[in-house]
Each structure stands twice: as structure tokens, then as C-alpha cells.
Structure 1
Amino acid sequence: MNVSLTQKFIAEFFGTLVLVLIGCGSAVIAGSHVGLLGISFAFGLSVLTMVYAIGHISGCHINPAITISMLATGKISGKDAGAYIVAQILGAIAAAGILYCMASGRAEYTLAANGLGQNGIGDAYQDHYNVTSGLIFEIVFTAIFLVVIHGATSKNNGNGALAGVAIGLSLTMIHIVGIPITGVSVNPARSIGPALFVGGDALAHLWIFIVGPVVGGLIGGFIWKLYDKA
């Protein structure tokens, strides 16, 4: 199947939009109803479904940390990687804008008080973890995520048809642990979209959710390379 770069761009834009809209939307709109476990599954299920919706088009990265890790391990060209990352960031921004428009339809909603599911650390966020804890979490758990992704999609894996299940459930388990720490990024685009609308601390701390996942993604790719020569 011949897939153009434009088609891949559209797929990555759409997939990232769905991830951010469903994941962050579950926190902003349905959080009081579904709790942290429900939010965790919303993020995981959005990735799982997108793997099967767009995986055959672009590989369903929908995450710059994944794309950079794939580039570092020779699974994607630099040209494609650049287009993917732009598409992912634009998709996340579009999703945050759509979510803001929907959430604003509730009279009690304010951007300052309710936010858009942005990531954060410190006294004003979740369980008040500091910068060090947040950065360690984002690096380590992104590395775990990328080991799962590389392994599940490896040509040496005979269960490739179930890759989406493994990837989606791994993101779910990461959220179950990490929501109280940072809200879980492991994905720079997912953090950039909401932060641009919310501003303030969300923008000030954004570097954590760019540096952490990118470093973690590179580490995850390196770990996978140690034992799988695909």
C-alpha cells in the first residue's frame, strides 16, 4: 500500500486530536463521574482504538516522543518524523480548542479554575510532587511505554495483531500510577495543546513534559535495541 506523506500527516493530526480530546476531555468533562481510573482508561482506550484506525496509515505514533524514538532506532525517516511532530502538535492544539469550546458551555466552568487537563507539578497541582519527582516519572514511564511499543510492533513479535491492545493497556497502567504526580504526559504534544490555552504554570512547567518524554523515549528505544535486533 502506497501512503503519501500528506495522508500520514492527516492520520497523525487526527489521531492526536482524538487522544487529547478523549483523554483530557474525560478529566475536564467527566472527571467527577469516572474518577482517576476512568480517566486512565480514557487515555488508554483512545490510543488502542487509534492504533487500529490509523496504524496502517502512519503507524499511529500520535506522540513526538514515539516519533523521535522511532527516528533514533531507524524506523522512520527524518522527513516523515518532522511532518509527524508538526501534525501531532497541531492536532493537540486543535483538540484543546475544541475541548475549551465544549467545556465553556457549562456556566460554572472557567479556564483558570477547571483547566483543560493540563499537566503540572507543585503545590497547586494534584498531590504536590516536586519538579524532580515529575521529571523522574516522565522519563522512566515514557521509557517503559516505548519498550512496550517497540516490542509490540517488532517484526519478531508473532502477536503483532494485538499490538494496539498492549500499547493501549500500557498507557492505562501508566496513568493509574502517574495521574497524581503530573497528570501524565509521556507525550509532549498532549501537554503542549492544553498548556497553550491555560498558560501560567502549565506553560512554565511545560519543559518537564517535553524533555522528560523525549529523554524517556530515547532510553526506551535503547533498551529495546539491547535485546531485539529487528
Structure 2
Amino acid sequence: MRTRALASEFIGTLLLVFFAVGSAVLGAEFIGTLGIALAFGFTLLALAYTLGPVSGCHVNPAVTLGMLCARRIDVRTAVEYWIAQFLGGIAGAALLFLMSEQVPGFKADGAFGSNGFGDRSAVHINTGGAFLAEVVLTFLLVFVVLGVTHRVAVTGFDGLPIGLALAAIHIVGIPLTGTSVNPARSLGPALFAGGAALSQLWLFIVAPLVGGAIAAVVHQVTHPTGEDRNIADEAAAV
């Protein structure tokens, strides 16, 4: 069961990067910001229903950290999920890069769907603003995930508000930083973009994790422990 869960996190993160980031890399001029936002939201929504019953469909280290802080999973499970997610993000970006190279005239140009601030931001947001934006945007995503699930797995209609939240987050965040809210989603494209994308990568790893941790703390206030079962033992058995 644990192997299935890790495979699901790897595959889910791979598909999220390939399809959602792919919409920004290859389709931005055709679908615009709204189209990219919907691509992220719809992809996560589909994955939630497909992989939710297997691994919980975190496909995001910040979500996994939120689950860990909320004591729904143990440290071992979190670390294994993180490894699977980062490897999945890299694999998804590699597959996207391979496909993009087959498009005549395509050039990554140091962007390749990566995140950025300063002159790599559409609105030239500074470092502090980008950090705050990523913290707040990730907070919303993880808070929604924790609030609608109340357990490790995504079940029933849980995937709908999560997908809608991610789409809304991208509508706001794309002009600011390109929207990360997911360290694994940021790492893969940055490795292939290189240059400034790699030098700025630290922010898109640290800020989403901070946002995820804060979301878990606030969730404990709005949803007291007595109402939110600690099922770390269940997660450890996955």
C-alpha cells in the first residue's frame, strides 16, 4: 500500500507539471492567464478524484507539510512523499522539455514556466512582496485542503473546492510570481530554465512551506483537535 501511495505522488506531481505548467510553456499566448489558471485547477481536480483515495493526492510538499503539522501523517510518510513529489516534478519538467524541443522555433529563454520576482515578474514585484504573496497564496491552498478533508485522503466532493482554490490562486498569483505554491512544481521547470530561475528558486521552496505550516496552525484554531482526528497511524500503514 505504501508503494502505491508513493507511486501516486510521483505520477500525480509529474502530470501536474506536464499538463498545467505545459499550458503556460506552450499555450500562454492562446489561452492567457485565465486559461493557465483553469489548467492548474482542472488538472488538480482530476488528480484528486483519481489519486485521492490512494495517497491523498498531496502532489505538493507544502500540502504534505501541512498534513504533518496537523498530525495526520508521521515524519517518515512526509519525507517519503517529499522525495516522490520532487522526483515527479523533475520528471514532469523533463518530459515537458523533451516535448517542447519538438516544437519548431521553441526556446525556453530562461523561463520555461518557472517562477520569479523582480524583472522576472510581470509586475516586477520585489523579493519581500513575492515572499509574502507565496506565503498567503499557499496558505489558502493548504487551509482549504485541511478544511475540506479532515483526513489524509481526498474523498467525495473534497476535490472540487481544492481545484477551484488552486485556479483562483493562479488568477491572482500569475502576474505576481507566476504562482508556485508548490516547491516541487517550481523545482522541475527551474532546473531546465537555468540562470535566474535557479538563483531565485529558494523563495519558491521556502515561502510555500512557510505558508503551509501557518495554514496548519490556523486550522488547529478554526478546527480544534477534537474535531479533527489524528490518524497518523493510518497514514503510516499506507
What is the TM-score normalised by the length of structure 2?
0.91
Aligned partners of 2:2, 2:42: CA distance in 1, in Å?
Answer: 26
Instruction: Give 3-state SS (helix, strand or coil) of 2:120's partner.
Output: coil
After TM superposition, the structure 1 = structure 2 runs for residues 1-230 of structure 1, keeping only pairs within 5 Å, are 4-112=1-109, 115-154=111-150, 161-229=156-224, 230=228
> 1:227 Cα shift?
1.6
> 1:145 Cα shift?
1.2
Per-residue CA shift, 1:55-82, capped at 9, x if unaligned? Answer: 0110000000011111111001111111
Per-residue CA shift, 1:168-210, capped at 9, x if unaligned? Answer: 0000000000101000000000000011111111111111101
AA in 1 matched with 2:188: G
User: Which deviates further from its counterpart, 116-125 or 201-210?
Assistant: 116-125
Q: Is the 8 A contact 2:52 2:155 kept in 1?
A: no
RMSD between superposed Cα atoms in Å: 1.3
Aligned partners of 2:128, 2:89: CA distance in 1, in Å?
Answer: 26
Aligned partners of 2:223, 2:43: CA distance in 1, in Å?
Answer: 28
Aligned partners of 2:122, 2:100: CA distance in 1, in Å?
Answer: 20
Question: 1:124–1:51: structure 2 CA closer, same or farther, 3 Å change rule?
Answer: closer
Unmatched segments (≥5 aa) in structure 1? none
Per-residue CA shift, 1:7-46, capped at 9, x if unaligned? Answer: 1110000110111111110011111111000000000111
> 1:160 Cα shift?
5.6
Q: Is the 8 A contact 1:139 1:213 kept in 2?
A: yes
Aligned partners of 1:198, 1:174: CA distance in 2, in Å?
Answer: 23
Provide the residue aligned with 2:233 in structure 1: none
Aligned partners of 1:15, 1:160: CA distance in 2, in Å?
Answer: 16
Q: Report percent identity of matched pairs.
A: 43
Aligned partners of 1:95, 1:122: CA distance in 2, in Å?
Answer: 26
AA in 1 matched with 2:24: A
AA in 2 matched with 1:176: I
Q: Which runs of 4+ in 1 moved over 4 A?
A: none
Aligned partners of 1:123, 1:63: CA distance in 2, in Å?
Answer: 26
Per-residue CA shift, 1:72-114, capped at 9, x if unaligned? Answer: 110011111111000000111011011111111122111226x
Q: Is the 8 A contact 1:99 1:116 kept in 2?
A: no
Q: Is the 8 A contact 2:17 2:89 kept in 1?
A: yes
Instruction: Give 3-state SS (helix, strand or coil) of 1:197's partner.
Output: helix
